[in-house]
């Protein structure tokens, strides 16, 4: 793996877990320039966003499985139903809490919105001109960003 081209800036960014989404635009410009020039920090940022999104997906799947378990327990009514239902609901609550903590403490939702905007822009660019012109102006501005 390559080394950071500016170790001081790299350490600052690492301390923030490579998240510059909440910074003032004036400060972001310098860090954006660093990201465009430094493969090391760019790959670390990508790794951290992948971990954040994977945690959100895993917590979502886990919550869905606990809800499914709760439904199965309610349907089949095995022995010790109350304790099994309680365990399923506790598992769902823990999954929801983890999902919430990851969503609040990391820039993963912002990253996912950016990815969705890129996808929408890609679809918009491939639409026939007559359909593109029928889109409302405010939607076109949101999609294209200009």
Q: Is the pTM of this model over 0.85?
A: no
Question: What sections of 38-107 are H helices per DSSP?
Answer: 39-76, 81-105
75-96: b (≥16 Cβ within 10 Å) or e: eeeeeeeeebbeebeebbeebe
Find the helix or strand (DSSP H, E) in which 113 lies. helix 108-126
pLDDT for position 1: 58
pLDDT for position 78: 92
| The two structure tokens encoding residue 146 | 């200009």
- For tokens 């990253």, name the residue: 111
27-65: b (≥16 Cβ within 10 Å) or e: eeeebeebbeebeebeebbeebbeebbebbeebeebbee
Q: Round to whole Å and give the CA distance between 91 and 64.
A: 10
Q: Where are the domains of the chain?
A: 107-146
Half-sphere exposure of 97 (CA within 13 A, CB side): 6
Average pLDDT over residues 84-98: 97
pLDDT at 114 over 90: no
Residue range 3-55, pLDDT digits in tens: 899 888 888 888 777 887 777 877 788 888 888 899 999 899 899 889 999 99
């Amino acid at each position: 793996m390559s080394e950071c081209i500016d170790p001081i800036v790299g350490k600052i960014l690492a301390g923030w877990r490579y998240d510059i989404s909440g910074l003032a635009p004036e400060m972001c410009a310098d860090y954006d320039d660093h990201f465009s020039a430094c493969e090391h920090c760019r790959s670390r940022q990508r790794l951290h966003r992948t971990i954040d999104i994977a945690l959100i997906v895993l917590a979502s799947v886990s919550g869905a499985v606990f809800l499914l378990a709760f439904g199965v327990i309610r349907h089949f009514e095995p022995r010790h139903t109350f304790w099994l239902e309680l365990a399923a609901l506790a598992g769902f609550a823990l999954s929801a809490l983890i999902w919430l903590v990851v969503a609040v403490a990391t820039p993963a939702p912002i990253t996912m919105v950016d990815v969705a905007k890129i996808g929408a822009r890609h679809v918009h660019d491939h639409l026939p001109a007559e359909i593109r012109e029928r889109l409302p102006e405010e939607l076109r501005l949101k999609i294209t960003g200009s």
